[in-house]
Structure 1
Amino acid sequence: MMNDKDSLVEFWGGYTSLATLVRGQAEKTPNQLALVARSANGHEERLTYSQLVWQGEKFARALMEIGAKEGDHIGVLLDNKSAYEAIMTLLACTFGGMVCVPVNARFAQEEILHAVTLADTRILICGQATLSRVRDIRPDAFILENVVLVGDEVTEDTLSWRELFNKAKVVDVDWPERGLDDISEILFTSGTTSRPKAALMSNRSVVASAYGFSQAMSLEPGSVYQSFFPFFTTASIRCLLYPSWFVGATAIVDPELDVMDILARMERERTTTYIGVPAFYIFLLEKYRETSFDLSSLEIIDAGGAAMPAELTRRLIETFPKLDVRQTYGQTEGGPCGTVLVGKEALAHIGSAGTPWAQTELRIVDENGNNVGLNIVGEIVVRSPSVFSGYFKNEEATRETLQDGWLFSGDLGQLDDEGYLFVVDRKKDMVIRGGLNIGTQEVESVLHRYDGVEEAAVIGVPHDKLGEDLLAVLTVASGVTIDPEAIRQFCADKLADFKIPRRYEVISEMPRSPMGKILKTDLREQYSKALVDA
């Protein structure tokens, strides 16, 4: 793998940032369709590469006119129903040398406050759906100077995104030239900590991940690449947008996970490539009828965000025998970098996550960081130019995760005799529910605040469609009766809805190790056959 900076830049076509990448495509193919995305007013915006640059630069000027400067952190609290405004803000940040901070639009008040404060967010872009939560946190978000509201409504305590855009002066700007090591985004990542950590993503990571994932998906200039992944996720920004733009393809952003609407859009846009979580493909198989939709343009479908069940792979191949059914494995801190299992290898290596994609090195190591042999389980570690720069304001976690240029994933896996990766388990105590990562300690910390709860252990249990769902195992004070609905209501303003457990079990005593730690492995074994109703 090349590590020399000049060699890497040359290999990447001279691109050193998202700004140079998009501008480069605009010069080569100005009239090529670059993006299809919903705006906050309900319209579907269709932008060419030249329009992508012009409108992104225009909103960069708008941000500068309200005081944004190079290096400032700009938060984006939007979902895909405002994907156009979210993506234009992302581009404005890269053109203006600012740092984009996507924030999960499903976060509760406390989570939004944590994200805004941790990331030193000066300006926050939000929509009507999240405005009340933003208003609730403003008195405590001392660093937050301006809130910009997307959509047609104007309020006294916010600035209007549309008005700022329309009034921005189209004048010559001495645009900053950011280097490979300068930070492009701060992406929040869930783990075992009580709160999400803020991953620093450099321009080097932008270009490397764009190149690597475009290769993993075999994207070409004529590709039409579609996904429902929410804007605030790594999967949307770095697995859909950047790879599409690296090769000059078209990125299609679904406004929400509506299978029938997605199928209709696939037919209408002549989609060639689709990426979703395994749960999406379960829903797709339930709804799809060959006579109802013309998907003859579709060539590749990929599952990421969670492990693909072997039976689901078989069903997809049976239903779509001409399709290349792929699976990818990676994580936010990797950029992502990781592995891909392509369709022609899927049945021969069922259950595998594949082999490393371009510019990615992968090893399996023991607890001392030494390589283990084939077919032996150890921790998965990766190295790539796309790997993140560290955690913002968290040097200890950075030292634990980044060691001598290698990213320690916290996932357990093994390599078979042919070099295919099999992900065995997650070393970090995380549940992946429908492709969304949930740090269980964060959920437990909220449950512990509920009157009468003495201890809480949150685990993942099998779910026939989501892959995993949450189960909260509780011990309670004497005489206390637990009302699940009351607990859910208690959590509603403290946790995003997908983090709130739907099932609760009360036991008399937690299983413990000799050190007194709760043995979640015992709980998982006890409840491993428990399925939460869909």
Structure 2
Amino acid sequence: MDIKKITLFGRKDVKVYSDRPKNIQSILSNHLENLKDKEAIVTEEKTLTYLELDYYSSSIAAYLQKKCDVKKGDRIATIIGNRYHFPLLVFACAKLGAIMVPMNVKLSAEEMEYIINHSKIKVLVSEEKFISKVEDIRRRSTHVIPEEKNVFVIDGKNTFNKLIEPDYPLDSVTVDELDPAYILYTSGTTGRPKGAVITHINVIHSLINYQKIFQTHEDLKTLIAVPMFHVTGLVAQLLHLIYVGGTVYSMERYQNKKYIEYILKYKINFLFNVPTIFIMMSTEEEFKNSHFDFVKKVAFGGSPIYQQTFQMLKESFPNAELHNAYGATETTSPATLMPIKYPKSKVNSVGKPVPVADIKVVKENGEECRVNEIGELFIKGPMVIKEYWNNPEANEKNFTDGYWHSGDIGFMDEDGFVYVRDRKKDMINRGGEKIFSIEVEDVLKSHELITEAAVIGVPDEIYGERVKAFVVGRKLSESSIQKIKEHCQRHLAKYKIPEFFEVVDQLPRNASGKILKNKLKEIGRK
């Protein structure tokens, strides 16, 4: 596919694919002639063919247009887990030119209130089990929640059913590739969450990047265990598989044994997860005793992949191509992807920049780093968001000359492979010595007693910070710590060795499986 340079969102010389779908709706409509009777979405409660996905999403779009007065650019918020209603709303919004605001179902009422108020939604669709949070918001702030006729509930009184009744014709709406499709709110670990405005052109380029590098096709089936309201579930799996004409299976809630059973039952041949899920899978006897030779592609991202986890994947999925992926909400999923073929010496990298990406490594003073020199990753391309919603301060702070500041510390080698060493805010400074937490975590994880580890810096009056490790393992106890320290001494410089250890049953995570180091830092300060 040819690549050319254009000015996009006021940014000069952005590389784009010349021949590309015009919007998200077109990736569905392009399949209606040849794949209309093929299963598109398979959830635990309902299956939708490509034709049904198109038909019911059009019914929803028409109802919202005629009865709720939804116009292009209006925001539609959802509080929905991995259920068939979610993809229906994805494509309904795409047909309307409306902006979908998928909310994390685990948020508190107060956190949801901020997002709903900040994005000024016109319609809200929620599962019945979360509606108490909506009512709580309504009691505190009567102007925030839309009027009753624009609030739809799944289950219970099930007013969602009104949306899918084909009672109204849908007036066509011209949706441009530069129009916003989603506002995805970031976790807000350092303050209020920021709303990343993802446009149709952002999504389309990510889908092409995945298809081009992974060489995906319509024979693939994926199983979504991460939430669809996050960019990996939404773009890397749901929209990606629809784009290539595959089938999307999903679980409402991740469960180890059930996930493995589904893979075996439905012969799921494309897996894409955070490493944590693969680690949890590997602890089950059924996983150890089963054969997964039908799996063709395994991708992972969202957090560092440990050497032993990579080796486990290689052994467990002998016929699969293994792909590391690196990106963020702000890059609409992938900024780098591991190609199908790569030397063993590169397994620690997150791959190469996708074909339309420009990535540079920048020092604190703004100078560009040399090859193999560590700095912050700056990312430019058509998959990078236009802006944060209604947040000029964040836009000013996080973008320079068209490049988004990732906040990730890493480097690029002489062959163009990118390596991520740490989050900028998670790097530990012990008496002037910079310590990358992933390096220490890798060593800890190589110990046979440890299944997971997270390392943070804790405040110290003399050194500024000291290293603390949180470790997880079924056979771990306080008496094991000395052996682990001795293990660290064999592999790490003295100043990198954790001085404090805490054995925990599990590490705190967000809905997509990422370790919440800010929570660990709160614990570490106590």
1:422 matches 2:419 = yes
2:6 is equivalent to residue 34 of structure 1: no
Does structure 1 residue 88 correspond to structure 2 residue 88? yes
RMSD in angstroms over aligned alpha carbons?
2.9
Partners of 2:214 and 2:64 in 1: how far apart?
Answer: 34
Q: Is the 8 A contact 2:274 2:303 kept in 1?
A: yes
What is the rounded CA distance, in whole Å, between the counterparts of 2:129 and 2:216 in structure 1?
Answer: 35
Tell me which amino acid in the other structure corresponds to 1:153.
G
What do residues 124-179 of structure 1 show as CA deviations (whole Å, max 9, x unaligned)? 1111221111110113152421463443311xxxx71013323x4142x3211111
1:301 maps to 298
1:223 paired with 2:229, answer no
The corresponding residue for 1:50 is 51
1:378-457 residue pairs with structure 2 within 5 A?
Answer: 378-428=375-425
Matched residue, 1:144? 145
Structure 2: which 5+ residue stretches go unaligned? 9-14, 429-443, 470-495, 507-526
Secondary structure in structure 1 of the residue aligned to 2:58? helix
2:167 maps to a residue whose letter is K
Q: If the length of structure 2 is used for normalisation, what is the TM-score?
A: 0.78
* % same residue: 23
Distance apart, 1:426 and its partner CA: 0.5
1:18–1:102: structure 2 CA closer, same or farther, 3 Å change rule? same
- In structure 2, the partner of 1:18 is 24
1:30-89 CA-to-partner distances (Å, cap 9, x unmatched) read: 223222124xxxx2x222222211111111112222332221100011112xx2112211
Task: Describe the SS at the equivalent of 2:460.
Answer: coil
Question: Do the aligned partners of 1:187 and 1:200 also contact (CA within 8 Å) in 2?
Answer: yes
Q: Secondary structure in 2 aligned to 1:339?
A: strand
Q: Contact conserved, 2:17 with 2:356, CA < 8 A, in 1?
A: no
Task: Please list every run of 5 or more consecutive structure 1 residues that lacks an aligned counterpart in the other structure.
Answer: 432-461, 474-509
User: For residues 260 and 373 of structure 2, what CA distance do their matches in structure 1 show?
Assistant: 41
- Name whichever of 288-297 and 187-196 sits farther off: 288-297
Q: Which residue of structure 2 aligns with residue 446 of structure 1?
A: none
Q: Deviations over 1:68-123 (max 9, x none)?
A: 2221100011112xx21122112111111110000000001111111111111222
After superposition, the Cα gap between the structure-2 partners of 1:528 and 1:244, relative to the gap in structure 1 and judged at 3 Å, is farther
Q: Does structure 1 residue 129 correspond to structure 2 residue 109?
A: no
- 1:295-354 residue CA offsets vs partner (Å, 9 max, x unmatched): 332111111111101111112212333322221111110112311235653742232112
In the other structure, the counterpart of 2:4 is 2
Q: Distance in 1 between matches of 2:245 and 2:319?
A: 25
Given that residues 260 and 287 in structure 2 are in contact (C-alpha distance below 8 angstroms), is that contact kept between their aligned partners in structure 1?
no
- Distance in structure 2 (CA, Å) of the matches to 1:255 and 1:469: 31
Alpha-carbon spacing, 1:430–1:236, altered in 2? closer, same or farther (3 Å): farther
Distance 1:470 1:89, change over 3 A: farther
**CA distance in structure 2 between the partners assigned to 1:420 and 1:164 by the alignment:** 47
CA separation of 1:102 and 1:528: change in aligned 2, threshold 3 A: farther
Single out whichever of 286-295 and 329-338 deviates more from structure 2.
286-295
Query: Partner residue of 1:441?
Result: none
Q: CA deviation at 1:194?
A: 1.2
> Are the aligned partners of 2:294 and 2:319 in contact in 1 as well (CA < 8 Å)?
no
Partners of 2:500 and 2:31 in 1: CA distance: 50
In 1: Cα distance, 2:206 partner to 2:357 partner: 10
Aligned partner of 2:460 in structure 1 is 511
Distance 1:131 1:360 in 2: 41
Deviations 1:216-256 (A, max 9, x none): 43211211122201021111111111211222122222222
Q: Does 1:60 align with 2:58?
A: no
Letter matched to residue 190 of structure 1: S
1:502 maps to none
1:330 to 318, 327, 330: 327
Matched AA of 1:250? T
**Secondary structure in 1 aligned to 2:405?**
strand
- Contact map agreement 1:113 1:141 (CA 8 A) in 2: no
Distance 1:380 1:191, change over 3 A: farther
Residue 47 of structure 2 aligns to which amino acid in structure 1?
R
When residues 341 and 19 of structure 1 are mapped into structure 2, their CA distance, relative to the original with a 3 A threshold, is: same
Query: Quick check: 1:128–1:149 contact (8 Å CA) kept in 2?
Result: no
CA contact 2:456–2:467 (8 Å) conserved in 1: no
CA distance in 2, matches of 1:470, 1:121: 38
What are the residue-to-residue correspondences of 1:91-490 with 2, within 5 Å?
Answer: 91-139=91-139, 140=141, 142-145=143-146, 146=148, 148-154=151-157, 160-166=159-165, 168-171=166-169, 173-287=170-284, 289=286, 293=290, 295-342=292-339, 344-345=341-342, 347-428=344-425, 465=451, 468=454
Deviates more, 1:114-123 or 1:99-108: 114-123
Q: Whole-Å Cα distance in 2 between the matches of residues 214 and 179 of structure 1?
A: 22
How much does 1:192 deviate? 4.5
Residue 128 of structure 2 contacts residue 155 of structure 2 at CA under 8 Å; is this kept in 1?
no
Aligned residues of 2:377 and 2:407 also touching (Cα < 8 A):
yes
Q: How far apart, in 2, do the equivalents of 1:466 and 1:102 lie?
A: 30
Question: TM-score, normalised on structure 1?
Answer: 0.77
3-state secondary structure, aligned to 2:93: helix
- Partner of 2:324: helix, strand, or coil? strand
Partner of 1:533: 505
- 65-74 or 234-243: bigger deviation: 65-74
Mapped to 2, the partners of 1:169 and 1:200 lie a distance apart of: 32
SS at match of 2:123: strand
| Counterparts of 1:254 and 1:4, CA distance in 2 | 40
For 2:452 and 2:88, how far apart are their aligned partners in 1?
31
CA drift at 1:20:
1.7
Equivalent residue, structure 2, for 1:439 = none
